[in-house]
Amino acid sequence: MSGYNRQKIVDSVPQKGFFGHPKGLFTLFFTEFWERFSYYGMKAILVYYMYYEVSKGGLGLDEHTAIAIVSIYGSLVYMSGIIGGWLADRIFGTSRAIFYGGILIMFGHIALAIPGSISLFFVSMVLIVLGTGLLKPNVSSVVGDIYSETDSRRDAGFSIFYMGINLGGFLAPIIVGEVGMKYNFHLGFSIAAVGMFVGLLMFVFTKKKNLGLAGTIVPNQLAPDEKKKVYTQIVLGVIVLTILIAIAIPTGILTFDSLIALIGILGFLIPTIYFVTMYRSSKTTDVERSRILAYIPLFLASVMFWSIQEQGASILALYADKRTQLHFAGFDISPSLFQSLNPLFIFILAPVFAWLWVKLGNRQPSVPKKFSLGLLFAGLSFLVILLPAYLGGTDSLVNPLWLVLSYFIVVLGELLISPVGLSATTKLAPAAFTAQMMSLWMLSNAAAQALNAQLVKFYSPETEMTYFGVIGGAAIVLGIILLFVSPKIQKFMKGVN
């Protein structure tokens, strides 16, 4: 997309109307709020639904299998963003991608809401994976479209947008989680479906007035004959993949272990291909190539961070259910409620960080330094959670305040990495790969959860201290290294701060 078109998009969006930010931020804020409400509501009860006994309304799977599935599912959700980014960049634009994605997500939650076999469970996962891949990277990309590249409100706008994500994530475990855990899992999934439906209505009825041209222009559109060829290839690809799966499962070629290994490889192979493709493209300028190189260490730091953060819905969810004292201060606590802590702390602290970046202006730390500090906090959050086992052993139940403290510390790291990374991605992206660059950012989470699917098998009450200590220590070491090389990275960013 040319610089003229980018400015034309910005000019089409009302630049005041939502807390001093472009009016389009209202539409994107609430669209993402409801999408995250549905996603995190489902995710709050998903692992328990899988490993709880059938007599308790669950699927009765093994605990470690359930945790690995959550990691694989999370990886595929973010991996599918490359499909959504490519389709938006080349075929129908980000606005339509958001709408189509919301439809698929809603039907995915409806499928979960229907009591049935494990086959229906996996059908729902496919729908949600594809839908989130269409919606999530593209709604974030549109946030970048409504600001000019030099707009000082940009980072603060992403922080406000991030508040919408986490407000939905905070309410979801309280509403969907409580209903699912205390009454019926399928009723909880139904509430998640309704949430996505409301988000779709918000988007459809406010986008024309608030977003202007944002999301409607296809930056690198395929020619009509190329589109026909792509559609044919997609149909053939789906047919071939279906045949291969139908053969591989009965013959034992495709097992759960081999699937984990395959996704682990793809989690790092796909972003590598993306980096090489964008760097070598004739549509990428020399300045953009330098920025791509600067993005690589930020990507790797993001993988390390999300590997820790995403275990809040897997390892720490199991920890909350099995290792934590759930009767505390006269109250019975549902283990799913702990997953509301992360978004709660973000919702409280995000305005503080947004204000801080505006207040500091040009004196704020560089993007690489923010990432390094974020990794230090992530590592510390895991070191904190190993202390109960060190102090009291692994046989007694843990005071829930240890989990609260761990979630609080990792949130400090998240606010230094996630909204900053979203903003940096839109600024460092080559013009011809804007939506796909956002998909690449999502791939850091996919790689992290692909890694987690391998790591979770090493967790047990007996290995608890080693598990948290090694992973937390690795994050701290990587954070220190990133801090030392941050001036070099900043030079490659070519003026992006």
Is 369 domain-assigned? yes
Domain range for 347: 18-220+252-492
Is 71 domain-assigned? yes
**Contact between residue 406 and residue 443 where contact means Cβ atoms under 8 Å apart:** no
pLDDT tens-digit map of 422-481: 888 888 888 878 767 877 888 899 899 999 988 888 888 788 889 999 999 999 999 999
pLDDT tens-digit map of 126-146: 899 899 888 887 887 788 788
Is 11 domain-assigned? no
How far apart (Å, rounded) are the C-alpha atoms in residues 426 and 56?
46
Is 4 domain-assigned? no
Is 398 domain-assigned? yes
58 burial (CB, 10 Å; 0-12 / 13-18 / 19+) is: middle
Asked if residue 260 has pLDDT above 90, the reply is no
* Residue linked to tokens 């986008």: 207
Domain count, the chain: 1
DSSP-assigned letters across all residues of 365-385: PPHHHHHHHHHHHHHHHHHHH
Q: The domain spanning residue 303 has which CATH number?
A: 1.20.1250.20
Asked if residue 2 has pLDDT above 50, the reply is no
Residue 17, SS3? Answer: coil
pLDDT tens-digit map of 158-195: 778 877 888 888 899 999 988 988 888 889 999 999 99
pLDDT tens-digit map of 316-356: 988 888 888 888 877 888 888 898 998 889 888 888 887 88
Is 377 domain-assigned? yes
Is 3 domain-assigned? no
Q: What's the predicted TM-score (pTM) here?
A: 0.81
Give CA torsion, residues 263, 269, 275, 278, to 10 deg: -90
Is 115 domain-assigned? yes
CA distances from 93 to 109, 120, 217, 219 (A): 25, 31, 6, 8
Structure confidence at residue 435 (pLDDT): 66
Structure confidence at residue 490 (pLDDT): 87
pLDDT band at 3 (very low <50, low <70, confident <90, very high): very low
